[in-house]
Amino acid sequence: TPEVFQAIIEFIYNKKPHWETCDILVLNVSSCSFLSSMYYLAEKYNLETLKDEIIASIPKHLIFEKDLMEVAILAEENKHHEPLSDAIYDAAARFYLQLYNEHLEYALWLFSERNRPHADVIFNLMERINNLKKPVWFGQQTFESVYSMIKNCKDEVGLTRDSIKESLVNSVASDVEEALEYFIDEGHISSTSDEYHFKISPTNLP
């Protein structure tokens, strides 16, 4: 498509591709098709850096319930591009696991009669979920508390370092700082009005 070639040209000339022009912040049929076309051309013309950037961008996308099955099917259809297929499958698996924990009724819809023709895709998705690794901070109370506080904050400007430390009176201040720095580096949280206020990153919201 013209959008794909335009993005390739912009990349070659060291410009940031305009991902947003193809709804790329949301992982759905349109964006998956765009990404797979980009990946195909990047592979054809040996643009290894672009391939890496495409794969790295996928976990940052949002997925909505209505698109989950189509995203998983597109992951299966791109199995000839294994890194791309794996990245899309993993993104779908992470979203489904979150969905299962928070909206069980919808999650079970995946196993309805209408999806019987895609039984292999559902099996692969379940296998991915089973193989998902827990975050490195899983089970560390301070990390879990810091993440939970920021995620549940409704204030537009987020929480400050000091307010988090004051709330976690049983945690060591240096441990709180370590948790904050980790979540910032990993892209789980981001600063808002200044470097001392934090909110959960959009890609980590349900």
- pLDDT tens readout for residues 10-47: 887 876 655 544 444 688 888 889 999 999 999 998 98
Q: Quick check: 149 pLDDT over 70? A: yes
pLDDT of residue 119: 92
Task: Decide if pLDDT at 86 tops 80.
Answer: yes
Does residue 74 register a pLDDT over 90?
A: yes
Alpha-carbon distance of 162 to 175, in angstroms, equals 13
What's the CA gap between 48 and 39, in Å, rounded? Answer: 9
Q: Which residue carries 């560390």 as its tokens?
A: 140
55-79 average pLDDT score: 88
- Do 149 and 159 contact (CB within 8 A), yes or no? yes
Residue type, 81: H
Q: Tell me which H or E stretch contains 181.
A: helix 173-185
88 falls in which pLDDT band (50, 70, 90)?
Answer: very high
Q: What is the pLDDT of residue 204?
A: 56
pLDDT at position 90 over 80: yes
pLDDT score for 25: 67
DSSP state of 22: G
Worst-scoring range by mean pLDDT, 79-88, 103-112, 132-141? 132-141
Supply the pLDDT for residue 80.
93
Q: Is the pLDDT of residue 134 over 70?
A: no
Has residue 99 got a pLDDT over 50?
yes
Average per-residue pLDDT for the chain:
82
For residues 16 and 190, the model is more confident at 190
For a pLDDT cut of 90, what percent of the chain falls above it?
18
Inter-residue contact 85 to 76 (CB < 8 Å): yes
Q: How far apart are CA 201 and CA 154, in angstroms?
A: 13
DSSP-derived secondary structure letter, 62: B
Q: Does pLDDT of 61 surpass 90?
A: no
pTM of this structure: 0.60
